[in-house]
Structure 1
Amino acid sequence: MIKNEKIKASEVQVTGLHGEDLGLMSTKEALKLAKELKVDLVCTSLMTSPPPCKLIGAGAAKQEALAEKRKDRAPKTKEIRLTPQIEEHDYDTKRTQMERILKTGDIVKLVVKIQGKQGEAAKKLLEDFIRDLKPLGKPSTGIQLSGKQAVVELHP
């Protein structure tokens, strides 16, 4: 991302803070305008002449770059291990952790370890997590109960 004084072109096509077209102007004028508004002048493409530039708030430029990086990479699968007898505070902590993972675009794999006759408790726990995380992610398959564990994957 090229911004502010690093833009070497003599003229730039400027877009305002709210998407309005400010037209063609010299880079010096555009930088002066950016300083007056206390924002950054960011070059969006070097492939055209004059290069298109945007006026973007200082923190927004970094956020936009991070969002672009996230889109480019493949989602990772993060595994969260639990037991059926989980206390309320631990439940809330795990739920918050899963929300953060889903917001970054990664997949959450919930694994509940089962001992003895805990199958129903494990299934109920996974159903509770699925219900609480419904706005952020949906299960790719149903709850899979095997001998020693219950598993479900949530996709963002």
Structure 2
Amino acid sequence: MLTLDTAELSAVSFLLWAWVTAEKELPYLPMGEARSIPERRSISGDLQQSCTINWRCSTISESLVNGQVRFREVRLIGTEGEQLGIMSSLDALKIAEEAELDLVCISPTAKPPVCKIIDYGKYRYEMIRRDKEAKKKQKIVELKEVRLSPNIDTNDLATKTNAARKFLEKGNKVKVTLRFRGREMSHMNQSRYILDDFAKELADIAVIDKPSKVEGRTLVMFMSAKKN
């Protein structure tokens, strides 16, 4: 027969207690799976409203809603942002149900966790709308390259300068390269003025991020548009 001493029994008891407590405090919520908002029921068990929405894993979808909120105590915020105090999850859910709204945990890591009474369907729609608008406003900055040569003539230099200006006006960064071949390598330092003149032509809209430096057979300079 397997026998356990007092220390071993205490350890086993503690592990069982920790497991049971964890099961009561937080439900298992698989990441990335389609889920549904728990049905809103009255305390007597009658169905008041059912709202099923499927979505992918996101900050919104990982919210604990209605029956998923199983903390011992929560800090409850009302529909107008007013503090309703600290109470059990069950009492908070009762208040939400009486208002025919949802109980949503907006800060599960706070002590105690913070919940708010809201219409979860409208809340989720508004968050998705704001996220889409924010993405539209984000500018994708690209690095464009303008290539020059030590023997570039005035017309070609003007063409390259205009091309760089258009890139900068669109908010992109510009990498200006001056490549040398064969005997041209011996005149690399003396040719830096080409990049300096190039930068001066764009000084009204651009700044030099990185001054010209040698990279193998090439002089390289980086520029970006001035910030308003």
TM range, smaller chain = 0.5 to 0.7
Q: How far apart in 2 are the matches of 1:106 and 1:146? A: 22
For the pair 1:128 / 2:197, whether they are aligned, the reply is yes
The residue that corresponds to 2:212 in the other structure is 143
- Note the alpha carbon deviations across 1:36-92, whole angstroms, 9 max, x for none: xxxxxxxxxxx8xxxxxxxxxxxxxxxxxxxxx6x5222100011111110000011
Report which structure shows greater RCO (CA 8 Å, sep ≥6). Answer: 1
Q: How far apart in 2 are the matches of 1:91 and 1:97? A: 10
SS in structure 1 of the partner of residue 200 of structure 2: helix
Residue 98 of structure 1 is aligned with which of 156, 164, 179? 164
Q: How does 1:40-79 map to 2 (within 5 A)?
A: 72-79=138-145
Q: How far apart in 2 are the matches of 1:118 and 1:105? A: 33
Q: Given residue 150 of structure 2, which amino acid in structure 1 is its aligned partner?
A: P
The residue that corresponds to 2:43 in the other structure is none
- Give the superposition deviation at 1:141: 1.4
Q: How far apart in 2 are the matches of 1:124 and 1:101? A: 22
| Structure 1 unmatched runs, 5+ | 1-46, 48-68
* Greater CA drift, 122-131 or 111-120: 111-120
TM-score by length of 2: 0.37
Q: How far apart in 2 are the matches of 1:140 and 1:74? A: 18
Runs of 4+ displaced beyond 3 Å: none
The residue that corresponds to 2:151 in the other structure is 85
Q: How far apart in 1 are the matches of 2:190 and 2:151? A: 8
Q: Given residue 110 of structure 1, which amino acid in structure 2 is its aligned partner?
A: V
Aligned length: 89
> What RMSD in Å do the two structures reach over aligned CA positions?
1.9
Aligned identity (percent) is: 24
- Give the superposition deviation at 1:121: 4.2
Structure having the larger proportion of residues in strand: 1
TM-score by length of 1: 0.52
